[in-house]
Amino acid sequence: MTSGHATPTMKRRRIGDLLKLLRTAVHVTAKDAARLAGLDATRLGRIEQGRYKVTSTQVKALLDAYGVSDEVTRSALCQATEESPRAGWWHQYRDELTEPYLDYTALESEAVTIQAQHPVVIPGLVQCASYVRGTLQQSIHPPTRARADALFAVRMTRQQVLTRPVRPTKLHVVIPEAAFFAQFEAGPSVMRDQLRHLVTLSEQGNITVQVLALESPPNFGLHQAANLLTFDAPWPSVLHFDNWRGGTLSHDQEEIAAMKQHFDQLSKVALSVEKSRDLMEERLRKGMK
């Protein structure tokens, strides 16, 4: 993952995060690293923060200082510094959507795996079209028509990462059963469509769908909506906290590790894949009453 489709700021941050991880892994101070690589310490700090662009020559010097000889890591970092940001398919919506949301979409498009959980609604990557329309129409922050159309188009197109012919993203979602009780202006047909969609998706080999039953301990389903993304080596994982403005990204490895542990615990408490599918099919048989 080279972040070639993200904004220049996101691309620099990804490079800086990885350089900092490599430096701290060998317990080299920023001051010593800058000296060994022939850089100013202040500049190195800003490179690691994603505020300054770094050249491939500087990257090689830093990697030499950290004793990093792995060719995959060296090649990926150098390539990332030399690539010009390219406009992804989402670039056409830049006037209607926030930069954080577009940056997340760029990262999501190159994720190898995604773990997603939401305390209230169906996660975006597994929403059917009528559900997307319904949530946009009944939003607590009603979007303009143009923004609603952009949000709909982007959310539906984002889902192609799950069905692309080459290396589709592996997705694991934990959905609260309470989300199945949502009411829509268009009537119960929306949730019927959504449940059928989830059942179909759960049969794909790269998608795992689990339901957090109503009988589960309430504290397990109250955490903030989050998506945990992993990428090809050497790029570190990214944690995304969802919100109506497009969300925030965390590159903090301790926070990411804590989220991995939380998701593992959540998936153990949730119904198994088979029982989750049975629950959804049972609700469909009962006509969503």
Q: Which of 82, 108, 136 is the last residue of a domain?
A: 82
The confidence band for 55, taking pLDDT boundaries of 50, 70 and 90, is very high
pLDDT of 243 higher than 90: no
What are 129-186's pLDDT values in tens digits? Answer: 999 999 998 887 778 899 999 999 999 999 999 999 999 999 999 999 999 999 999 9
Q: What is the pLDDT of residue 4?
A: 40
Q: What is the pLDDT of residue 141?
A: 79
Tell me the average pLDDT across 211-223: 78
Same domain, 109 and 156: yes
Q: What is the pLDDT of residue 1?
A: 42
Q: Which of 28, 62, 82 is the last residue of a domain?
A: 82
- The rounded distance, in Å, linking the Cα atoms of 248 and 239 is 8
The residues facing 226 across adjacent strands are 117, 241
What domain range is 20 assigned to? 8-82
Same domain, 226 and 136: yes
Same domain, 113 and 256: yes
Residue 191 within a domain: yes
Give the residue among 97, 103, 113, 128 at the shortest CA–CA distance from 162: 113
Q: Which helix (H) or strand (E) holds 62?
A: helix 56-66
- How buried is residue 117: exposed, middle or buried, by Cβ count under 10 Å (0-12/13-18/19+)? buried
Residue 146 within a domain: yes
Q: What is the pLDDT of residue 8?
A: 67
What are 98-138's pLDDT values in tens digits? Answer: 888 988 999 999 999 999 999 889 999 999 999 999 999 88
Look at the chain and report how many structural domains it folds into. Answer: 2
Same domain, 140 and 216: yes
Decide if 241 contacts 207 (C-beta within 8 A).
Answer: no
Total-model pTM:
0.90
The confidence band for 3, taking pLDDT boundaries of 50, 70 and 90, is very low
The residues facing 173 across adjacent strands are 116, 209
pLDDT of 82 higher than 90: no
Same domain, 200 and 274: yes
The confidence band for 2, taking pLDDT boundaries of 50, 70 and 90, is very low
pLDDT of 85 higher than 50: yes
Same domain, 43 and 157: no
Same domain, 141 and 58: no
Q: Residue 236's Cα: distance from chain center in Å?
A: 12
CATH number for position 37: 1.10.260.40
CATH number for position 155: 3.30.870
Same domain, 98 and 76: no
- The rounded distance, in Å, linking the Cα atoms of 222 and 109 is 27
Residue 3 within a domain: no
Residue 2 within a domain: no
Same domain, 93 and 185: yes
DSSP-based helix, strand, coil % in the chain, nearest 5: 55, 10, 35
